[in-house]
Structure 1
Amino acid sequence: MLTADELRRFCEFLYRRTGMLFGESKRYYVDRRIADRMSVTGARSFPAYFAYLQSNNEEIERLINVFTVNETYFYREEHQLRVLGRSLLPEIVQGRQPGDLVRIWSVPCSTGEEPYSIAIWLLENWALVDAYHIEIVGSDIDTRALLDAQAGEYGERALSRLPQEVVERYFEPSGDGRRTLIQDLRESVKFTPVNLVETASTATQGRFDIIFCRNVLIYFDDASRLLAAHNLYDSLQPGGFICLGHTESMSRISDRFAVRRFEDGIVYQRSEGRG
């Protein structure tokens, strides 16, 4: 068990690296994960492990992976997929020509259910899906989750919200009740590591027309939320849209986004000339 000072120093380190805020209220969660990493690395004390951690980028990556939350499933918050097809994409492609690029970013994408859901939803529900070059990018700070996303293998719980005919059409049985997404769809999504509170990290992805950034800002404090919001703003094309989780509000974080209310839900649009 970490001392109060060790807990504080570690949480400050993790916060600087990820924007995620932990403290005494989540001591058990932190202690357990630190103990696991100490056991794996052979560190005999927290000071020894902390010194090793600070000098080893691979261990930093492994540590971040065990602190991320990857609870998700296909067609989660399905109303936002309806917004995407019925409202956002029609507005985005106004004035564009057939074959033009439309970029959609899912960040954090966890183990791939969200960006693959976008791909499946568009194939099933958007009549113009083949008229434009749709590029879907999934990004996460958890490199282990990205490997799982690229593999595209899922259990019954992850697939439970999908209509059975959709499961049969896009997933192949892989044993033990699990299914693997067909290769064409796995190849339709590009996966990249990204840290939302590192400007250089988000800038490498270029600009997007639509961003899905759901249920991550709630883990940040106000300063990290604002930094992430500014990075997301800069990652949007002028007039681009961002979809947040149902408990999140960009209006409480930054005034650089306009609230847009559509029949199927509320999203936020990059406003020009602010901030």
Structure 2
Amino acid sequence: MTLPTTNPAAGNQLTEAQFARVREWVYRRTGIHFGDNKRYFVDKRVTTCVREHGGDFNLWFASLRAGADERFAQQLVNELTVNETYFLREDHQFDSLVRTVMPRIAQARTAARDRSPIRILSLPCSTGEEPYSIALRLLSEWPGIETFDVEIVAADIDTRVLEHARRGEYGARSMHRVPPAVRTEFFERAGERHRVREDVREAIEFTTANLCDTDQMRSFRAFDVVFCRNVLIYFDEISSRRAAENLFGALRPGGFLFLGHSESMSRISPIFDPVRLPEGIAYQRPAIGATA
């Protein structure tokens, strides 16, 4: 997920007080803090929402705060989360998953005679390229996929991108790193676009989730691996710590967490152990009984 910078040449339509009220509401709802450099971006999208609901800011915001119609809140969240991604982004982490993490998990399952599915969470999943990338790498490169059941859950706060993800249709920009052999095996043509094969689409569960909503995140439990990339950089210290605690709760003891290349859990919370894998850094929820 990326948030664009402001256009300093453009005028603002919201008053300072209105901008402050919207910014506070968004922060409390999502954990994302919009600085003054995002003023034009916020203004443009808020005024779109206000215009579509009658044109009166005060009436619109009163309804938003009161929760009278959840569509108001969801529309604003959708407008303010701009998603940018593509298949096999930061693919060294998928290398880690296939070559190191999944074999370790499979070995531990075998030793414990545990036949439960290996569970992977992609949050935020944006338009679906990340969870589909996980599935494609496992299907094409991990031999254990023939032996172990794998469940992939993909979640995002933005309902529009989830609909895009469920359709699984992508243009050239999203597909530019997908090898031709993988395109042939796992995609079908849909006009000028490529669509993920139906059985792969149906194997992934897409759902809504707010990473900073602790009550909502309690439904995400017992994951072996979590990908949570390029979102914590938009949180302040308090929101980042809350998100870290929610990610900790989503993982099994011993489970692995992957963050974006510019993110470091070590600067946020000490509850995870950094793990140096052959392909890069990940973070691990300590196993039960582990000692420092």
CA contact (8 A) 2:221 2:252 kept: no
Alignment identity in percent?
A: 47
Aligned residues: 272
Q: Which residue of the partner structure matches residue 33 of structure 1?
A: 45
Provide the aligned C-alpha RMSD in A. Answer: 1.4
- Could you say what secondary structure the match of 1:93 adopts? helix
**Residue number in structure 2 paired with 1:169:** 185
2:89 is equivalent to residue 89 of structure 1: no
Matched, 1:134 2:150: yes
1:205 match: secondary structure = coil
Q: 1: CA distance between counterparts of 2:108 and 2:130?
A: 28
For residues 108 and 53 of structure 1, the distance between their equivalents in structure 2, rounded to whole angstroms, comes to: 24
CA distance in 2, matches of 1:149, 1:182: 13
Cα contact 2:85–2:174 (8 A) shared by 1: yes
The residue type paired with residue 58 of structure 1 is R
Whether the aligned pair in 2 keeps the contact of 1:99 and 1:131 (CA below 8 Å) is: no
Aligned to 2:82, what secondary structure does the other structure show? coil
Q: Does 1:219 align with 2:219?
A: no
TM-score (norm 1): 0.96
Question: In the alignment, does 2:213 pair up with 1:198?
Answer: yes
Match of 2:141 in 1: 125
What's the CA shift for 1:83? 0.2
Offset at 1:57? 1.1
Q: How does 1:46-57 map to 2 (within 5 A)?
A: 46-54=57-65, 55-57=68-70
Contact 1:136–1:190 (CA<8 Å) still a contact in 2? Answer: yes
Separation of aligned partners in 2, 1:63 and 1:130? 43
Question: Whole-Å Cα distance in 1 between the matches of residues 25 and 146 of structure 2?
Answer: 46
1:22 match = 34
Deviates more, 1:215-224 or 1:1-10: 1-10
- Contact map agreement 1:8 1:23 (CA 8 A) in 2: no
Report if the CA contact (8 A) 2:228-2:257 is conserved.
yes
SS of the equivalent of 1:77 reads coil
- SS in structure 1 of the partner of residue 230 of structure 2: coil
TM-score (norm 2): 0.90
SS of 1:268's partner is: strand
After superposing the two structures, state which structure 1 stretch, 62-71 or 94-103, moved more. Answer: 94-103
The answer as to 2:171 corresponding to 1:155 is: yes
The one-letter code matched in structure 2 to 1:163 is P
- Is the Cα contact below 8 Å between 1:172 and 1:180 reproduced in 2? yes
What is the CA-CA distance between 1:99 and the residue it aligns to? 4.6
Q: CA deviation at 1:100?
A: 3.1
Worse-superposed segment, 99-108 or 211-220: 99-108
Which stretches of structure 1, 4 residues or more, deviate above 4 A after TM superposition? none
Unaligned runs of 5+ in 1: none
Q: Distance in 2 between matches of 1:243 and 1:217?
A: 12
Superposed displacement of residue 10, structure 1: 0.9
For 1:255 and 1:28, locate their aligned partners in 2 and report how far apart those are by CA, in whole Å: 36
Q: Is 1:5 aligned to residue 8 of structure 2? A: no
CA shift, 1:95, in A, is: 3.2
How far is the alpha carbon of 1:262 from its aligned partner?
Answer: 1.1
- Helix, strand or coil: the match of 1:210? strand
Provide the residue aligned with 1:113 in structure 2.
129
Q: In 1, distance between residues paired with 2:82 and 2:255?
A: 27
Deviation at 1:201, TM superposition (A): 1.2
Q: Deviations over 1:192-239 (max 9, x none)?
A: 100000112111122200000000001111100000000000110001
**Aligned 8 A contact 1:7 1:23 in 2:** no
TM-superposed deviation, 1:107: 0.2
